[in-house]
Chains A and B, each alone.
Chain A
Amino acid sequence: MRIELEKRPERSVLMAWASPVIAVMATVVTGGLIFAAIGKPPLQALWIFFLEPFSSLWSIEELVVKATPLILIGVGLSVAYRANVWNIGAEGQFTMGALMGGIVPVFFTSWQSPLALTAMLVLGILGGMLWASIPAFLKIRTGANEILVSLMLVYVAQLLLDWLVRGPWRDPKGYNFPKTVNFEDWQAMPIFGGGRLNLGIVLALVAAVALAVLMRRTMKGFEVRVLGEAPRAGRFAGFSSDRMTLFVFLLSGGLAGLAGIVEVASTVGQLQPNISPGYGFTAIIVAFLGRLDPIGVVVAALMLAVSYLGGEAAQVALGISDKAARVFQGVLLFWVLACDTLILYRLRIVRSAPAAEGV
Chain B
Amino acid sequence: MSASVTAEAGAGRGEAETSEFLVEARGIVKKFGAFTANDQVDLAIRPGEIHALLGENGAGKSTLVKMLYGSLQPTAGRIFWKGEPVVVTDPGRARDLGIGMVFQHFSLFEALSVTENIALALPNASDMNALAARIASVSRDYGLPLEPRATVADLSVGERQRIEIVRCLLQEPKLLIMDEPTAVLTPQEADQLFLTLERLASEGCAVLYISHRLEEVKRLCHASTILRHGKVVARVDPSKETAASLARLMVGADVHAIRPKHARVAGPTRLYVDQLDLPANGPFAVALQKVSLELRAGEILAIAGVAGNGQSELFDALSGERRVDRAGAVVIEGEPCGHLGVGERRELGAAFVPEERLGHGAVPAFRLSENVVLTRDSIFADAARRLLGFLDFRAADETAARVSSAYDVRKGKPDPEARSLSGGNLQKFVVGRELDRKPLVLVVNQPTWGVDAGAAALIRQALVDLAADGAGVLVISQDLDEIFEIADRIAVISRGALSPGYDAHVMTLEKVGLLMGGAHGGSEAIEGALKLREADGRAY
Q: Do A219 and B381 touch across chains, with their CB atoms under 8 A apart?
A: yes
Contact status of A219 and B90, CB under 8 A, knowing A229-B364, A237-B375: no
Is A218's beta carbon under 8 Å from chain B? yes
Contact status of A230 and B359, CB under 8 A, knowing A10-B417, A10-B419: yes
Q: Do A356 and B419 touch across chains, with their CB atoms under 8 A apart?
A: no
User: Per a CB cutoff under 8 Å, which of B363, B373, B416 touches A229?
Assistant: B363
Number of interface residues of A (CB under 8 A): 22
Q: How far does the alpha carbon of A233 sit from the alpha carbon of B420 in the complex, in Å?
A: 17
Residues of B within 8 A of A220 (CB): 389
Residues of A within 8 A of B374 (CB): 226, 233, 236-237
Is A185's beta carbon under 8 Å from chain B? no
Q: How far does the alpha carbon of A244 sit from the alpha carbon of B363 in the complex, in Å?
A: 17
Q: Do B390 and A222 touch across chains, with their CB atoms under 8 A apart?
A: no
Q: How far does the alpha carbon of A61 sit from the alpha carbon of B226 in the complex, in Å?
A: 72
Interface centre among B343, B344, B366, B412 (most CB of A within 10 A): B366
Majority DSSP secondary structure for residues of B touching A: loop
State the Cβ distance, A358 to closest chain B Cβ, in Å: 10
Q: How far does the alpha carbon of A9 sit from the alpha carbon of B346 in the complex, in Å?
A: 32
Residues of A within 8 A of B539 (CB): none
Q: How far does the alpha carbon of A356 sit from the alpha carbon of B320 in the complex, in Å?
A: 45
Is A6's beta carbon under 8 Å from chain B? yes
Q: How far does the alpha carbon of A18 sit from the alpha carbon of B354 in the complex, in Å?
A: 37
- Interface flags for B345-375 (1: CB within 8 Å of A; 0: not) read 0100000101010111111111000100111
Residues of A within 8 A of B113 (CB): none
User: Per a CB cutoff under 8 Å, which of B33, B89, B342, B380 touches A236?
Assistant: B342
Q: Do B419 and A9 touch across chains, with their CB atoms under 8 A apart?
A: yes
A238, closest chain B residue (CB)? B343
Q: Do B365 and A229 touch across chains, with their CB atoms under 8 A apart?
A: yes
The 10 closest A-B pairs by CB, nearest first: A219-B389, A238-B343, A9-B420, A238-B342, A232-B360, A230-B363, A237-B374, A230-B359, A10-B417, A354-B73
A216, closest chain B residue (CB)? B391
Contact status of A11 and B417, CB under 8 A, knowing A218-B390, A355-B90: yes
Q: Do A233 and B361 touch across chains, with their CB atoms under 8 A apart?
A: yes
Q: How far does the alpha carbon of A217 sit from the alpha carbon of B373 in the complex, in Å?
A: 12
User: Per a CB cutoff under 8 Å, which of B73, B360, B362, B377 touches A238?
Assistant: B377
Number of interface residues of B (CB under 8 A): 43
Contact status of A236 and B90, CB under 8 A, knowing A219-B381, A226-B374: no
Q: Do A219 and B366 touch across chains, with their CB atoms under 8 A apart?
A: no
Interface centre among A6, A9, A220, A225 (most CB of B within 10 A): A9
State the Cβ distance, B87 to closest chain A Cβ, in Å: 9
State the Cβ distance, B91 to closest chain A Cβ, in Å: 9
Q: How far does the alpha carbon of A10 sit from the alpha carbon of B419 in the complex, in Å?
A: 7
Is B518's beta carbon under 8 Å from chain A? no
Q: Do A10 and B416 touch across chains, with their CB atoms under 8 A apart?
A: yes
State the Cβ distance, B116 to closest chain A Cβ, in Å: 23
Residues of A within 8 A of B373 (CB): 222
Is B321's beta carbon under 8 Å from chain A? yes
Q: Do A236 and B375 touch across chains, with their CB atoms under 8 A apart?
A: yes
Residues of A within 8 A of B336 (CB): none
- Interface flags for B330-350 (1: CB within 8 Å of A; 0: not) read 000000000001111010000
Is A323's beta carbon under 8 Å from chain B? no
Within 8 A of B (CB), among A233-250: 233, 235-238
Interface centre among A10, A218, A236 (most CB of B within 10 A): A236
Within 8 A of B (CB), among A321-359: 354-356
State the Cβ distance, B362 to closest chain A Cβ, in Å: 7
Is B384's beta carbon under 8 Å from chain A? no
Q: Do A233 and B362 touch across chains, with their CB atoms under 8 A apart?
A: yes
Q: Do A233 and B359 touch across chains, with their CB atoms under 8 A apart?
A: yes
Is B70's beta carbon under 8 Å from chain A? yes
- Interface flags for B218-256 (1: CB within 8 Å of A; 0: not) read 000000000000000000000000000000000000000
- Interface flags for A200-226 (1: CB within 8 Å of B; 0: not) read 000000000000000001111010011
A221, closest chain B residue (CB)? B391
Q: How far does the alpha carbon of A219 sit from the alpha carbon of B89 in the complex, in Å?
A: 51
Is B399's beta carbon under 8 Å from chain A? no
Residues of A within 8 A of B344 (CB): 238
Residues of B within 8 A of A229 (CB): 363-366
